[in-house]
A = this chain, B = another copy of it.
Amino acid sequence: MKKNGDEIYAHVEELLRMICFKIRIQGRIALKDYSITPAQFDLMQRTYFDGPQTMTKLSQMLGIAKSTTTGLVMRLERDGFLRRRQGDEDKRVAMVEITELGSEVIKFVIKRRVDYIKEIMDKFPLDTSDKIYHSLIELSSVIEEK
Contact = CB atoms under 8 A, between A and B. Distances in A.
B63 A9 contact: no
A16 B23 contact: yes
A92 interface: no
Contacts of A5: 118
- Give the number of times this chain occurs in the complex, counting copies: 2
Q: Is the interface of A mostly helix, strand, loop or mixed?
A: helix
A104 interface: no
A80 to B, nearest CB: 20
A79 interface: no
A107 to B, nearest CB: 11
Interface string A49-71: 00000000000011111001000
Nearest to A22: B143
A94 to B, nearest CB: 23
A20 B23 contact: yes
A74 interface: no
Given A63-B29, A138-B124, A20 B9 contact: no
Nearest to A131: B135
A93 interface: no
Given A15-B139, A131-B138, 13 more contacts: A1-B126, A9-B117, A12-B117, A18-B143, A19-B143, A23-B143, A28-B64, A37-B39, A38-B39, A38-B42, A119-B146, A120-B146, A132-B138
18 contacts: A1-B129, A6-B118, A8-B121, A10-B114, A15-B137, A15-B140, A16-B23, A17-B23, A19-B140, A22-B143, A116-B146, A119-B146, A120-B142, A120-B146, A123-B142, A128-B138, A132-B138, A132-B139
